[in-house]
Amino acid sequence: MASFGELLCVHTDELVQRWYEQWRQEGPALPEMTEAAIKDHLPVQLRVIGDALREGRASESPRKLWEQHGRLDPEQRVRDAVPIEEVVREYAYVIEAVRGWLTERDEQISVQEYSFFSLAIFELAAESARRFSKYQAERVARERSEYVAGIAHQLRTPVSTLNLYVQQMERAQGALNSRAAERLRRTVGRLSRLVDGILRLERFKPDEIPVHPETVAPAQVIDQLVADYEHDASRKGLRLDIFVNRSARMQVDQDLLVDALGNLIQNAIKYTEKGFVRITLEEHEDEVVFKVEDSGPGISSERQRELFRPVLPGQPGGVGLGLSIAFRAALAQGGTLELESEPGQGSTFRLRLPRAVHARKGQSEGLVETSLEDDAPPAVH
In sequence order, what DSSP letters do the residues of 283-308 get, joined into one string? E-SSEEEEEEEE-S----HHHHTTTT
What are the sequence ranges of the domains in the chain? Answer: 4-141, 207-371
3-state secondary structure string across 34-91: HHHHHHCCHHHHHHHHHHHHHCCCCCCCHHHHHCCHHHCCHHHHHHCCCCHHHHHHHH
pLDDT score for 303 = 83
pLDDT score for 126 = 84
pLDDT score for 363 = 53
pLDDT score for 259 = 87
Whole-angstrom distance, CA of residue 281 vs CA of residue 351: 10
pLDDT score for 73 = 54
Query: What is residue 239's three-state secondary structure?
Result: strand
Whole-angstrom distance, CA of residue 288 vs CA of residue 353: 5
pLDDT score for 335 = 95
Q: Which of 108, 122, 149 is nearest to 4 (CA)?
A: 108
- The one-digit pLDDT tens for each residue of the chain (381 residues) are 679 999 999 999 999 898 888 888 887 666 665 565 566 778 888 998 999 999 998 888 887 787 765 555 545 555 555 677 777 888 888 999 999 999 999 998 899 999 999 999 998 888 877 877 777 777 777 766 666 666 666 666 667 767 777 777 667 655 556 666 666 776 777 677 777 777 666 667 778 888 999 999 999 999 989 988 888 899 999 999 999 999 999 999 998 999 899 989 989 999 999 999 999 999 999 999 999 999 999 998 888 877 776 544 444 444 457 788 889 899 999 999 999 999 999 999 999 999 999 998 865 444 334 333 333 332 333
pLDDT score for 177 = 63
Whole-angstrom distance, CA of residue 22 vs CA of residue 11: 17
Assigned CATH for 207-371: 3.30.565.10
Burial track 109-138 (b if 16+ CB lie within 10 A, e otherwise): beeebbebbeebbbbbbebbeebbeebeee
pLDDT score for 243 = 95
Whole-angstrom distance, CA of residue 169 vs CA of residue 174: 9
Half-sphere exposure of 125 (CA within 13 A, CB side): 18
pLDDT score for 370 = 38
Cβ atoms of 351 and 290 closer than 8 Å: yes
pLDDT score for 36 = 59
Residue 92: CB partners within 8 Å, gap ≥ 6?
125
